């Protein structure tokens, strides 16, 4: 795995284009299993998670051609194919193939999924809902596989007790070819889901979001090929916005999606950041004055996303006063704190008083690791200093890149494979903004 060497302290300035959304690309690739015709997907980010998903699909018989940011995929299904554990376990979304495989072939053998280590991250909500549609699914803890079988998926009314982003998508991918109507109640609202729906409808599906948290899917007998361009990545945009503000720079972001970033933009403004719409898809981010502390509670869309809290924490190390971040979606998403402390950040853990944690938090409260905490208190401003850093979660490693960009001196970040999972050619692109950042092979 490579490492990044960053010499911080330069204000980032210039123009940068946001790449396509990882969390759409992966799901649309899974949708290729729903047809035998070619699916042409544009604006796919060149990241390792996409590569990993193509490896999963190759195991299932999908043929792919990658030309820059366009991927062509055709499903030549292999009967009895089974994704090897080591291939499936790299990626949480590998489990999503279960829906299309059950819908089309009546059988699915899928490995227990991997992905970023953000706590237990079970897929019980996906499995229970697929069972409601007529699937018989068992997990074999000896070999780490889910074994699914069905005589035919049928429509069902599914009420998710708690929000699940990929659970909602897994059910959509299963229901498009099921017999009859499926209604997803308390379905997740993330905009990436609507982009998947738009692509599936272009392939001949019949899916409607009838109100913000209800999705109605009328099963069709077959889907056909299509050509689709995916939306830009919201998480990249907020990373560039924070980089601009923290380094006292001035960055103009192309392919901007202000309409999907309302909660972020409000917090950014409250913190003293400035954003200026240049046109419908271009936004300028900067911050000339002092940075103010904020209190953030993460939540599902349209709230402040859990993916943004790690970069936000490093931003708040530069604020004058005490900021708090309360994580409510995942039970373990503060792995970056120990690394930021190495750079001089003043961060303490605490547990907010929550009367009914089992219903308040999005994760299963019973899965919580004893002694872990759900909130942090950051006292700033801190002149961060350089350090040697290592981390294992995608958004957290992007956070350390931000911290190193603001810290004078040379920082080294190990475990860069994590950032490659979700950010396309990050060092090359940051260099165009004036960052001093280099990738070096680990000895």
Site of interaction with ligand EPU (CB under 6 A): 22-23, 26, 92-93, 116, 119, 121-126, 163-167, 190, 305-307, 329-330, 362-364, 394-395, 422
Q: 329 among the known binding-site residues?
A: yes
Which residue number, 119 or 225, has a Cβ lying nearer to ligand EPU? Answer: 119
- Residue 29's φ and ψ, nearest 5 degrees, are -60, -40
CB nearer to ligand EPU: give 286 or 305: 305
- Letter string b/e over residues 415-442, b meaning 16 or more CB atoms within 10 A of that residue's CB: bbebbbbbbbebbebbeebbbbbeeeee
Annotated catalytic residue within 116, 199, 286, 287: 116
Cα–Cα dist 50/41, whole Å: 12
As a whole number of angstroms, the distance between CA 341 and CA 251 comes to: 27
DSSP H/E element including 405: helix 394-406
Q: Tell me if 115 sits within 8 A of 91, measured CB to CB.
A: yes
Minimal distance, residue 113 CB to ligand EPU, in Å: 9
CB nearer to ligand EPU: give 239 or 386. Answer: 239
Angle between helices 309-316 and 394-406 (to 10 degrees): 20
375 three-class SS: strand
| 286 is known as an active-site residue | no
Q: How far is the CB of 196 from ligand EPU (least distance, A)?
A: 10
Chain-centre distance for alpha carbon 107: 28
Across-strand partners of 157?
183
Instruction: Please name every residue paired with 107 in a beta bridge, in sequence order, or none if there are none.
Output: 149
Please report how close the Cβ of residue 97 comes to ligand EPU at its closest, in angstroms. Answer: 13
Residue 23, annotated as binding a ligand:
yes
- Give the shortest CB-50-to-ligand EPU separation in angstroms: 12
Please identify, using beta-carbon distances, which residue of 226 and 305 lies nearer to ligand EPU. 305
CA 2 to chain centre: 22
How far is 62 from 59, CA to CA, in rounded Å? 7
Rg (CA), the chain: 22
Q: Which is nearer to ligand EPU, 116 or 133 (CB)?
A: 116
Is the N-terminal amide bond of 61 cis, ω within 30° of 0?
Answer: no
Nearer to ligand EPU, 35 or 164 (CB): 164
Is residue 438 classed as helix, strand or coil in its secondary structure? strand
Residue ranges of E strands in 213-336: 214-218, 226-229, 250-254, 274-279, 282-286, 295-297, 321-326
CA distances for 266 relative to 45, 184, 258, angstroms: 27, 30, 11
Minimum distance of ligand EPU from residue 167's CB (angstroms): 5
Helix axes 98-105, 124-132, angle to 10 degrees: 20
Question: H/E element holding 66?
Answer: strand 62-67
- Give whichever of 233 and 250 is closer to ligand EPU, judged by the CB atom: 233
Consult the annotation and say whether 353 binds a ligand: no
Query: Which residue positions form the known binding site for phosphoenolpyruvate?
Result: 22-23
Query: Which residue positions form the known binding site?
Result: 22-23, 92, 307, 329
Query: Which residue positions form the known binding site for UDP-N-acetyl-alpha-D-glucosamine?
Result: 92, 307, 329
Which of the residues are catalytic?
Answer: 116
């Amino acid at each position: 795995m490579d490492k990044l060497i960053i010499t911080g302290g330069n204000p980032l300035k210039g123009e940068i284009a946001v790449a396509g959304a990882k969390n759409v690309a992966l799901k649309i690739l899974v949708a290729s299993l729903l047809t035998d015709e070619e699916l042409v997907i544009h604006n796919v980010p060149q990241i390792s998670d996409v590569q990993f998903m193509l490896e999963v699909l190759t195991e299932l018989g999908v043929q792919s051609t990658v030309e820059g940011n366009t991927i062509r995929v055709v499903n030549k299904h292999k009967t009895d194919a089974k994704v090897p554990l080591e291939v499936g376990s790299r990626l949480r979304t590998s489990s999503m193939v279960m829906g299309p495989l059950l819908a089309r072939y009546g059988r699915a053998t899928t490995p227990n999924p991997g992905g970023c280590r953000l706590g237990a991250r079970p897929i019980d909500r996906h499995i229970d809902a697929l069972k409601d549609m007529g699937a018989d699914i068992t997990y074999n803890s000896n070999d780490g596989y889910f074994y699914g079988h069905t005589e035919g998926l049928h429509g069902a009314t599914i009420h998710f007790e708690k929000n699940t982003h990929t659970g909602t998508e897994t059910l959509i991918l299963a229901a498009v070819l099921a017999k009859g109507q499926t209604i997803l109640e308390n379905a997740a609202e993330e905009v990436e889901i609507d982009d998947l729906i738009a692509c599936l409808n272009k392939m001949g599906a019949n899916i409607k979001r009838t109100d913000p948290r209800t999705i109605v899917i009328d099963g069709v007998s077959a889907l056909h090929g299509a050509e689709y361009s995916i939306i830009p990545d919201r998480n990249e945009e907020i990373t560039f916005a924070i980089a601009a503000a923290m380094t006292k720079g001035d960055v103009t972001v192309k392919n901007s999606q202000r309409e999907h970033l309302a909660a972020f933009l409000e917090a950014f403004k409250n913190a003293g950041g400035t954003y200026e719409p240049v046109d419908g898809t271009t936004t300028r981010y900067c911050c000339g004055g002092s940075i103010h502390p904020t209190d953030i509670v993460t939540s599902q869309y349209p709230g402040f996303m859990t993916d943004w809290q790690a970069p936000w924490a490093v931003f708040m190390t530069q604020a004058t006063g005490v900021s708090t971040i309360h994580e409510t979606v995942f039970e373990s998403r503060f792995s970056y704190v120990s690394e930021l402390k190495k750079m001089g950040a003043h961060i303490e853990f605490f547990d907010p008083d929550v009367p009914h944690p089992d219903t308040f938090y999005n994760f299963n409260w019973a899965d919580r690791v004893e002694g872990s905490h759900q909130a942090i208190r950051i006292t700033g401003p801190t002149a961060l200093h350089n350090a040697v850093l290592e981390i294992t979660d995608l958004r957290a490693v992007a956070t350390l890149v931000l911290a190193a960009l603001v810290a004078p001196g040379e920082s080294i970040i190990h475990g860069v494979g994590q950032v490659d999972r979700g950010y396309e050619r990050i060092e090359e692109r940051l260099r165009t903004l004036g960052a001093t950042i280099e990738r070096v092979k680990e000895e």
